[in-house]
Structure formats: C-alpha cells, structure tokens
Amino acid sequence: MQTATHSISVIHRDAVERKPFFHYRPGRSTITIAAPGCTFSCSYCVNYRLSQYGRPDSQEWTGEIADVEAVVADAATEQAIIALSYTEPALAIELTLALAEASDPYGVEIAWKSNGFLTDRAVDTVAPVLAAVNIDLKAADNGRHRRLTGAPLTPVWRAIRRLREFGVWIELSTPLIPGYTDDPEDLATLAAGIADIDIDIPWHLLRFTPTFRMTSQDPTSPDALAGAVSIARSAGLRYVYVERALGDEGRATRCPGCGTTVVTRGIWNLTANVLVDGRCPACDNTIAGRW
C-alpha cells in the first residue's frame, strides 16, 4: 500500500532564501518537494490546489511515488538541501525519515517549511533528522488562529520550543493580513512570545497577497510592514525581515553589536555574506545561525 503523502507532486530547484531561511546555509540551493495535503485550512493559502487535497472542495492532484534514492542522489550531486514545503510536511514524516536515512551517508540536510501543528510524539520522531524548520506563526491567540486556520495556536508554540530542544534551527514567519493579523497589539504579543524563547530567532513578516477565499482583502501596505518591524525590534528581536515591500534594507542582516551590514539579499537570493565563521568582521560579534 502507498499513501499520497509518500509521493511527490511538485519538485523545484530554488534558493534556500525562498523558504524563507535567512540564517541557515545562505546561498545554498534546495531541491524542494511536496506531497499533497495540509493539517490547516487557511483561507489565504497560495498553494490551496495542492494543500487542500482531501477536503470536500479539493481539486485533483497528480504526482508519482517518491523515488527517494533519486532525490538524494541529485541533492548530493548538486550539494543542495532537500526541503519539504508548499504543503504540510508533518503529513509526510515517513517520507522525511526515508529521505534522511538515504541522505545520511552524503551529508545532505533536510529542512521543512511547516505550520508547526505537531504533537510531542511527532516532534520527537522527526526532529533528530531535521536541520532547520521555518514555522508559520499565523496569529496571536487561539481564537484568531482557529478562525484563520481551523486549528488552535498553542501546539505551535509548544512545537517551536520542543524542536529547539533537539537543536533544530528555527525561523518563524507571520503573514500580515489586514484586519486579521496586523493589529499592533497582536504583533506585540507575538514578538514578546518569540523574545521569551530567544531574541535571536529570525522573524519573517510576510506581505499578504489576496488569493483563494480571501481575494477581496487588500494586500498588506508597506507602512504596516514597517510598523511591524518596529514593534518586533522594540520587543528586543534582533533579526526581523520583510521579503519584498521594504526593499534591500528589509532583507539585510545587521550585526546587533555594531550595526554593520553583514549579509545582503535579493528577493530570493544571496548577494553578499561578509561573515567570518559566523562572526561580524567589524566587531567579532557572533551572528546566530547555521552559516
């Protein structure tokens, strides 16, 4: 018997910055794969044609049973990271474990882009084989999170902490949806929650693009994103990013010790990295990450 979650519906080559990861293996390429399905039912999902497979209004999908050895061989040859994204990789833990087992002799790393809705047992099973996870932190409280996703928020916070206990590199992403997740008080709550775990966790603030069931919503304004960055920094967070709307400065990494710009990026690519063994070349301060 084969399951849909042990298949590959999408396989792309792209930069690790696109996941997004800004403090994990900058400039490296990824082979990104996806099986159908998600544990959330987000009304704004850009990948809904694939992620919402199995729900009453879902669409058909096409794909093939995963050829684990072939994916790993390609990643080893290209010195690429294997990333599971676009849908929810927590539904494909068996595939992740198979990829990790085959990858181990080659030193190929596995990364996830996940909603973080994981049980302790799931984390304990998969965390030992994951190098990095970018988790979507979608709302500030259980009520708002449930309205947006169909699921509570509390397990996501728990998974973030538990994955870090295993040594998995964590970055977080939050979409700023006007009228839903852009309230300054809610953003301050999220920023404080992240800071309580670690002020060095990179936080990506994402511009909302109307899609799926939320096509009548307005996109996020640059001013709202700039305000969110200020809120995050006021909470003590050291690494806060906006992918597009604030230009190059919104994507740059600056040393929290002296302010020197140490990593610059295009929208989906690395443009410069002057770190020396993960340290600022100007003041020797360590910049958190897996460089």
Q: For 76-113, how does the pLDDT look when each residue is reduced to its tens digit (9 = 90+)?
A: 999 999 999 999 999 999 999 999 999 999 999 999 99
User: Is pLDDT larger for residue 205 or for residue 42?
Assistant: 205
**Does 44 score more than 90 pLDDT?**
no
Domain presence at residue 285: no
What is the band of 53 on the pLDDT scale with cuts at 50, 70, 90?
low
Alpha-carbon distances of 153 from 57, 136, 140, 165, 256, rounded to whole Å: 25, 10, 8, 19, 30
Domain presence at residue 253: yes
What pLDDT is attached to residue 171? 98
Give dist(CA 126, CA 183) in Å, integer: 34
Spatial CA neighbour of 175 closest among 118, 201, 214, 143: 214
Alpha-carbon distances of 45 from 13, 33, 243, rounded to whole Å: 21, 17, 18
Domain presence at residue 156: yes
Binding residues for [4Fe-4S] cluster: 38, 42, 45
Domain presence at residue 291: no
Within the chain, residue ranges assigned H as helices are 48-51, 68-78, 93-103, 120-126, 142-149, 154-165, 184-197, 222-234, 247-251
Domain presence at residue 282: no
Binding residues: 38, 42, 45
How many domains does one find in the chain?
1
Burial (0-12, 13-18, 19+ Cβ within 10 Å), 167: exposed
- Where residue 189 sits, what CATH number does that domain have? 3.20.20.70
What pLDDT is attached to residue 45? 67
DSSP state of 276: B
Residue 11 DSSP SS3: strand
**Does 1 score more than 60 pLDDT?**
no
Cis-peptide into 184, omega within 30 deg: no
Which residues lie closer than 8 Å to 154 by C-beta, 6 or more apart? 142
Domain presence at residue 97: yes
Domain presence at residue 36: yes
Domain presence at residue 284: no
Least confident of 27-41, 76-90, 266-280: 27-41
Alpha-carbon distances of 190 from 17, 19, 27, 273, rounded to whole Å: 23, 21, 29, 29
User: Taking the model in full, what pTM does it have?
Assistant: 0.95
Q: Which residue segment(s) compose the domain that 244 sits in? A: 4-273
